[in-house]
Structures are given as structure tokens and as C-alpha cells.
Amino acid sequence: MPNALPDLTDVLAAHPYPGRGVLRCRTADGASLAGYFLTGRSPASRARALRSTPDGALTVVPTDVRAHDDLRHYQAVRRAAGLVVYGNGEQVAAVADRLAAGLSPAEALDGLDYEPDPPIFTPRLTVVADPREDGPTWCGAARHSAAARSGTDRLQLRLPALLPGEGVLLTTYQGALAAPATGAPYLEAATPYADAAHLLDALWSALPPGLRVAAAVFAPAAFPEVLLRHATD
């Protein structure tokens, strides 16, 4: 019998500063869901919101008058070629464009690089979800090595359809707030919540209160319908 998975809230509690995160899971009611969240250390990172845009995407936008910043403002969720792409940066649009051009999910996730933000070198995390009930999910991470090499380490994880109460989480960071390190390649967690609303409640409550920015939960099959939570709500 497989080992019991730790609850999603416990997994996130072990990350004092998770940065941004992507989640693919099923809740106890069997709903196939996705999640995305943002936390921020700086005023600029916290001055953001998730907004639905006329082009059918969910976009990270500034809430103040500052100019567009490619590393902070981007399409976070977008449909393409019958699939749903979500992630933590401008690569979401690039992957969606590649899918629309006929590339496979594995091909669309290849060739991405980590963010040019030394010394942290934030990984770029991208999920391609097949919205069919038994459809697979592809998770990609473009990461900077902890070793001396500067080339991008590109990881891909293909998930079969998850069972109720199972989830896979990727976060940009782990470790202390003052010195965040690149997050683990992926984390498995239990998501035994009754439905999408309870999942959003659990996800939000597990994020560090002073660092919360926004979170979204949605069913890929129903996107652009989405449940949102903001620190300013």
C-alpha cells in the first residue's frame, strides 16, 4: 500500500516563502482542478492582482501605476489547442502559441529558460492540462542548477489522471524568507477537500499571511470560469 500523502496545507506550511506555485489535483468529490498562487516579498510583487481579460486569459496585472514588468505581469492561464496552460511567467503565452501551432505538450515545454533575476534565478513553472476527465497533465520546470553551470536544467513530468484526493504542487521557492532557494522539482500532497471552494480556502489559509497576493482555483474543462482570492478582498 502506498504511503499516505501529507496534506496540502502541511506541505505549504513547510515553505515560509513559496513564491509562486502551480497545483494540479482532484478534490474528494472527484473534481479535476488546477490552482495558481502568488506571494510576494517586495511592495512591487505585492501590488498585483489576477484579472480575467477580454482575450479569455487570466492575467497578472499591476494594481498601482507602475509600468509593465515582464517578470511580474503576464498571462497566468490561457487556453490553446483544446488544452489549458498555466504558470508563473511570460512563458505561458509562448507555450500556448506553440501548442496552437501544432506542437505537442512535450515539445511546447522544451527550450524554456529560468528567469534572468540573479542571484535567485527564479524557475519558470508551466503546466499543460488536458481538460478531459481522464486526460494527462504535463508539468515543466526550467531551473538554474545549484552547481556552477549556467545552462538551464529543463525538467518535465507527465501525470496520468489523478485519483480523488491527490495533488501535485510545484513552487518557485523553498526555505527561509530572507534567503529563498529554488523549490523542489515537485511535491505530492493530499487534497481531500470537498470541492473547488474548499480547496481555495485551504490553499489560501496555508500561504504566509503577510506575503499573500492572490490565488485562483479552476477546472480546466470549465476555464475561463475561475474562483479568485486576493489579499485586498
8-state DSSP, 136: -
Measured distance CA(123)–CA(141) in Å, rounded: 6
pLDDT tens, position by position, for the chain (233 residues)? 356 899 999 999 998 999 999 999 999 999 999 999 999 999 989 999 999 999 999 999 999 877 788 888 999 999 999 999 999 999 999 999 999 999 999 999 999 999 999 999 999 999 999 999 899 999 999 999 988 889 999 999 999 999 999 999 999 999 888 888 999 999 999 999 999 999 999 999 999 999 999 999 999 999 999 999 999 87
What does the buried/exposed string (b/e) look like for 111-136 if buried means 16 or more CB atoms within 10 Å of the residue's CB? ebebbeeeebbbbbbbbbbbbeeebe
Grid cell locating 67 = 509600468
Q: Where are the alpha helices (DSSP H) in 42-156?
A: 43-46, 91-100, 105-109
Domain architecture of the chain: domains with CATH: 8-227 (3.60.20.20)
Tens-place pLDDT, residues 202-211: 999 999 999 9
Residue 210, CA distances (Å) to 24, 27, 221, 231 in order: 25, 27, 33, 9
DSSP 93-121: HHHHHHHHTT--HHHHHTT----S-TTT-
